[in-house]
Chains A and B, each alone.
Chain A
Amino acid sequence: MKHYEKNIEYPVTITLNGVTRSAPAEARMLLSDFLRHKLGATGTHVGCEHGICGACTVRVDGVAQRSCMQLAVQADGRRVDTVEGLNHGAGAELGDLQAAFKRHHALQCGFCTAGILMSCSHFLERVPAPSEQQVRDMLSGHLCRCTGYTNIVNAVLDVAAQRQAAIIGSTQHA
């Protein structure tokens, strides 16, 4: 049992994109605000703050979920992955999901994109070869006002196909 009294800041430590990060937070601080205001990780965007828009979606211990619908203290000790961790290594090279979004013009203003990418990154691990319907169902947890979703769906299906082809290719060579 651990008791956090109100109006007092306590240290909260997470593993953010593989790096241990720590900062003080009150119990009432949302994980989304902790990421942005305490750790300076502003890649995660905040839209509605009641779980509808999906912009703030991150992965906590690998699982895609809303960072506005949980407290920073609840994530203490957890692994948190955000859009900043999707590129290859420490360089500027885009990860395959990001590259596909760029190639398919799957974003315009980009506000919703960080959350969508984090949902997709978890979803494609759980469902490696999804149907268009499954992709659309997953995307129903995100609001995008620019794209009309079609190009997002195309990008996700493209990445799924690429990854499947890579798996088949590597088995054939082996």
Chain B
Amino acid sequence: MKPAAFDYIRADSAQETVSLLARHGEDAKVLAGGQSLMAMLNIRLAQPAMLVDISRCQDLDYVRVENGHLAVGAAATQASVETRATLASEVPLLALALPWISHFQIRNRGTVCGSVAHADPSAELPLCLTALQGEVVLRSQSGRRVLKADDFFQGMLMTAVRPGEIVEEVRFPLQQQGARYAFQEVSMRHGDFAIVALAAVVSDSAIELTVGGVADRPARKRWARISGDDLDTALNDFAWELEAQSDGHASAEYRRHLVRQLGRQLIQKAGT
């Protein structure tokens, strides 16, 4: 199908974008890479009156290290982060997770901030941001506010973005001393939406496991360095806490099974 008619405005800067959003309110929808939004427009799941295209905002097209995190601007593509030569030493979890996002051709246009703003429960980038306890910078005409990932994601496709705000930047904390990372995902075919996706962060004193694709948003759990039966019990409790649902892709039982089995594999992988 084809999109319903809309007004289209090509913004040249972040400032111009937020002033347009202030003027047009909830009629306006931000378009960046469009790799989720264009599909929704084509099948008319979304029919906004106006699109504000930020993909040519030079001041939003950046990936840089500052203040202990990797900052990614709203116009930066997933490919621009994936192909960054220093990524594996800066944010190892991102280097592990990015190749799992959809396909080469989609990552070439899809943006990091766009995926975070879309907040699909099975998406890799919200999962990584939650696992690393990163931050989201929201900007409106009246200023900026910075939210922790846990406060930003509020449910399936639901975030703390208010009318008039854009996700201006997301911040992934740099590799922590002594921390080791692992990522794993199960889907029907590589590049499909994840049935279950997991990220493990293991340090000398703690284990953290974050799970996507099961609850309505990524869920993170932290334990001491437990192992054996204690770890199995903890993983089983976590799997049940997520309140997995059955759908056309997988049963709730299978999702709990994956959380337990892959969770243990991943923690062992990261911990050795």
Interface residues of A (CB under 8 A from B): 1-7, 26-30, 33, 49-51, 54, 57, 63-66, 68-71, 73-74, 119, 122-123, 126, 137-138, 140-141
Q: Do B10 and A137 have beta carbons less than 8 Å apart?
A: no
Q: Do A64 and B34 have beta carbons less than 8 Å apart?
A: no
Kindly state whether residue B55 has any CB partner on chain A within 8 Å: yes
Please report the C-alpha to C-alpha distance between residue A30 and residue B5 in the assembled complex, in whole angstroms: 12
- Interface bits B1-16 vs A (CB < 8 Å: 1, else 0): 1111111111110001
Please report the C-alpha to C-alpha distance between residue A49 and residue B2 in the assembled complex, in whole angstroms: 8
Q: How near does chain A come to B202, taking the closest CB pair, in angstroms? A: 27
Q: Do A71 and B39 have beta carbons less than 8 Å apart?
A: no
Q: Do A140 and B189 have beta carbons less than 8 Å apart?
A: yes
Given that A4-B8, A28-B5, A33-B2 are contacting pairs, would A66 and B106 also be in contact in the complex, using a CB cutoff of 8 Å?
A: yes
Please report the C-alpha to C-alpha distance between residue A31 and residue B63 in the assembled complex, in whole angstroms: 27
Q: List, sorted by A's number, 27 A–B pairs whose CB atoms are closer than 8 Å.
A: A1-B11, A1-B16, A2-B9, A3-B8, A3-B9, A4-B10, A26-B5, A27-B5, A28-B4, A28-B8, A28-B41, A30-B2, A49-B42, A50-B42, A54-B105, A57-B105, A63-B79, A63-B108, A65-B105, A65-B106, A65-B108, A65-B109, A68-B42, A73-B8, A126-B83, A137-B190, A140-B191
Please report the C-alpha to C-alpha distance between residue A59 and residue B84 in the assembled complex, in whole angstroms: 21
Closest-by-CB residue of B relative to A68 is: B42
Please report the C-alpha to C-alpha distance between residue A157 and residue B219 in the assembled complex, in whole angstroms: 41
Please report the C-alpha to C-alpha distance between residue A138 and residue B7 in the assembled complex, in whole angstroms: 35
Q: How near does chain A come to B201, taking the closest CB pair, in angstroms? A: 25
Which single member of B6, B51, B104 contacts A64 (CB below 8 Å)?
B104
Please report the C-alpha to C-alpha distance between residue A160 and residue B245 in the assembled complex, in whole angstroms: 45
Q: How near does chain A come to B112, taking the closest CB pair, in angstroms? A: 16
Residues of A within 8 A of B53 (CB): 74
Among A6, A26, A74, A119, the one with the most B-chain Cβ atoms within 10 Å of its Cβ is A74
Q: Do A27 and B104 have beta carbons less than 8 Å apart?
A: no
Do most interface residues of chain B lie in helix, strand or loop, or is the interface mixed? loop
Kindly state whether residue B35 has any CB partner on chain A within 8 Å: yes
Please report the C-alpha to C-alpha distance between residue A123 and residue B43 in the assembled complex, in whole angstroms: 29
Q: How near does chain B come to A143, taking the closest CB pair, in angstroms? A: 10
Which single member of B39, B51, B99 contacts A51 (CB below 8 Å)?
B39
Known: A50-B43, A66-B35. 15 other contacts (CB 8 A): A2-B9, A6-B8, A7-B5, A28-B8, A30-B42, A49-B1, A64-B104, A64-B108, A65-B109, A68-B42, A69-B39, A69-B42, A73-B10, A119-B105, A137-B99
Given that A70-B34, A70-B38 are contacting pairs, would A140 and B190 also be in contact in the complex, using a CB cutoff of 8 Å?
A: yes
Given that A51-B35, A74-B55 are contacting pairs, would A1 and B9 also be in contact in the complex, using a CB cutoff of 8 Å?
A: yes
Closest-by-CB residue of A relative to B102 is: A141
Q: How near does chain B come to A136, taking the closest CB pair, in angstroms? A: 9
Q: How near does chain A come to B223, taking the closest CB pair, in angstroms? A: 34
Kindly state whether residue B103 has any CB partner on chain A within 8 Å: yes
Given that A51-B39, A70-B34 are contacting pairs, would A141 and B105 also be in contact in the complex, using a CB cutoff of 8 Å?
A: yes
